[in-house]
Structure 1
Amino acid sequence: MARHDSEVYPGTYVTCVFNPDKALCRPRPARGGRTVPVPHDCQPLECRNVALTAANTTALAAEADRLDLLLRARPPSRPFRRPTWSGDATRSTRPPTANGTAHRRPMPSRTDVLAAIDILTAETGRRPSVPALAARPDLANTTFRRNYPGICAELSAIPRAPGDMTAADAHAKVKTDNAQLRRDNRDLAHQLDLAVAAIQRLSIDNDLLQAALHDARAVTALPRHR
């Protein structure tokens, strides 16, 4: 049997007492035909060539302390929640298929959507908007419009009753009212500046008249000559 003498390869965290017959790091031949270890494939917890010196244990302890400090400095991670595939009748989530694609969620039928329109109309006393109708089966507005273009067109074609205002209309009205209020506020501020200037002018005129009256009273009237 061929005999292989061990060679020592010191490292920061482990020391390799290399014996190719025991090595788990897939050793390769070097120049001259000598077999050498592969450090990046080292398996220190399993390979029998691994030895630990005092310097190795000190370096390992220091690295463990460094990692512990890093973990303590990081904010706590959110707890992992396993996805549950059992949902209710209105919102269900299904697991992915074997090829990694998700099951497509079944869409409500046209009859179900028309029934939802009747229910929302009875609840609110007015025709529902498309976003309100899409929220009923928990669908995105764009998804609902893409799958039910005819119903969306019918809702848009129905004339609105007085006071029937969607959230978008209400938001637009609030913006318009705010713009008008800002204009009125600017006009009132300008008029107030004019009023202040007029009051200041009247105060000056009053002071002048008061001084003229005082001077007039101080004049002595001379008798007339006949």
Structure 2
Amino acid sequence: MSNTTFRRHFPDIAQEIAALWSAPPTPGAPSEPTSYHRLVARNAKLKRRHRESTETLTLAACQIQRVTLENQKLREELEAATGVARLTSVPGLGHQYSR
């Protein structure tokens, strides 16, 4: 999501983030994490999850492609071995033959 879209849809959160960025914690602050540090940590965690999800989605798409190609090859081998061709639907006819 672009920054502009984010600001348009979540103006309150955008203002909070802007306030945190404009006033970063000062040195010598208490050791308890501030809202700024929690926000930075949460952002990093979300970026990690997004990257992991993208990698998982890419892997899943590759697996689907591999299985599809393998399925096609096995169907062709089965058709060649049995001499029976698979019936395919004709576009535009719908389910005319299933009645």
TM-score, length-normalised on structure 1?
A: 0.23
In our comparison, the structure showing a higher alpha carbon Rg is 1
Higher helix share: 2
> Larger relative CO (CA 8 A, sep 6+): 1 or 2?
2
Higher strand share: 1
